[in-house]
Amino acid sequence: MVSNSIGQHLEKVRQINPLIHHITNYVSVNDCANIALQLGALPVMADAVEEVEEMVSLAGALVLNIGTLNKRIVDSMLKAAKKANELSIPVILDPVGCGATSYRTQTTLRLLEEVRVTVLKGNAGEIGTIAGLEAEVRGVESGNVTGDLVQAGQKLAARLGAVVVVTGATDLILSPSGAATVSNGHPFLGRITGTGCMAATAVAAFSAVAEDAFAASVSALACFGVAAELAAYSNPSGPLSFKTAFLDAIAALQPDQVTNLAKIAYI
């Protein structure tokens, strides 16, 4: 079971210190860099089209995040991701706000058509939109989704040849042949900008060291959620003090803690 390997994955990230190349949004770029460091990975935020191929060649994984989208960034994403595909480097796509505007939706579909994505990670509205369900996305926040998200997500995973991750109060990790939930976390995560982006960084760090993207995603989200729970135990006074406690909890997280506290179910 994946739950038995979570601690091993965390230790491996800390031993290998994989470089995680981000082409991401400027709202959460610092938070993504910090979460990578606290997990034991090395972050780099390089989006100039002139250097992305060279930079991604040094990386253990590539994160593409369309949160602050523009043509220049799309060109860099495509160039970096195609190089990553050539080198068999995992690509994690976070389609932030897909479904809110036609530009975001079309860009997401273009990336999925031209790039082989290892993990597609989004909220229910974003993934529902891509999977063809009736879904509401308000700005970058998920609204209602009509339909069976597990079934639609697994069909999407089969079509893409990727793992599909749906983050929320309970995270869904979907492959063509399997599905798991991770129920760890804390409501304060929803009150801090960029925690979804940070989760994508965690998935990338684990994908860089694990052979299986499904197991990597489960492990990453379990560590993320357990750290949030441990941070909440320190009784932070509000969302910002929780954020500091959360980063501290990620840095101090021990393999046996996450193995014992992870709430993983296979469905």
Say whether pLDDT at 79 is over 80.
Answer: yes
Say whether pLDDT at 13 is over 50.
Answer: yes
Decide: 200 and 223 in contact? Cβ < 8 Å: no
Q: What is the DSSP letter of 65?
A: E
Report the domain count for the chain.
1
Mean pLDDT of the 167-193 span: 93
Say whether pLDDT at 142 is over 60.
Answer: no
User: Between these two residues, 238 and 77, which has the higher pLDDT value?
Assistant: 77
CA 142, 20, 37, 226 dihedral sign is positive
**Cβ within 8 Å of residue 17, ≥6 positions away:** 40, 41, 42
pLDDT of 3 = 58
According to the annotation, is 194 in a ligand binding site?
A: yes
| Cα 23 from Cα 110, distance rounded (Å) | 16
pLDDT of 237 = 87
| Cα 206 from Cα 219, distance rounded (Å) | 7
Q: Which residue range forms the structural domain that includes residue 72?
A: 2-266
Decide: 111 and 77 in contact? Cβ < 8 Å: yes
pLDDT of 140 = 47
% of the chain exceeding 90 in pLDDT: 81
Mean pLDDT of the 181-199 span: 93
According to the annotation, is 97 in a ligand binding site?
A: no
pLDDT of 2 = 57
> The CATH number of the domain where 107 resides is what?
3.40.1190.20
pLDDT of 219 = 97
Identify the burial level of 215 via C-beta atoms within 10 angstroms of its C-beta, where 0-12 means exposed, 13-18 middle and 19 or more buried: buried
For residue 135, the cross-strand partners are 145
**Cβ within 8 Å of residue 13, ≥6 positions away:** 39, 40, 41, 205, 206, 208, 209
How much is the pTM? 0.94
| Cα 94 from Cα 172, distance rounded (Å) | 15
pLDDT of 15 = 97
Say whether pLDDT at 139 is over 70.
Answer: no
- Collapsing DSSP states into helix, strand and coil, what is residue 254? coil
Please give the C-alpha separations between residue 171 and each of 49, 134, 218, in angstroms, as whole numbers: 33, 20, 9
How far, rounded to the nearest angstrom, does the alpha carbon of residue 142 sit from its chain's CA centroid?
A: 16
| Cα 200 from Cα 91, distance rounded (Å) | 11
Residue 69 has a CB neighbour count (10 Å cut-off) of 20
Name the least confident of 102-106, 140-144, 166-170: 140-144
| Cα 38 from Cα 243, distance rounded (Å) | 13
What's the mean per-residue pLDDT of the chain? 92
Over residues 243-254, the pLDDT tens digits come to: 999 999 999 999
In b/e form, how buried is each residue of 96-111, taking b as 16+ CB within 10 angstroms? bbbbbeeebbebbeeb
Q: HSE on the CB side for 122, CA within 13 Å?
A: 33
According to the annotation, is 45 in a ligand binding site?
A: yes
pLDDT of 20 = 98
According to the annotation, is 121 in a ligand binding site?
A: yes
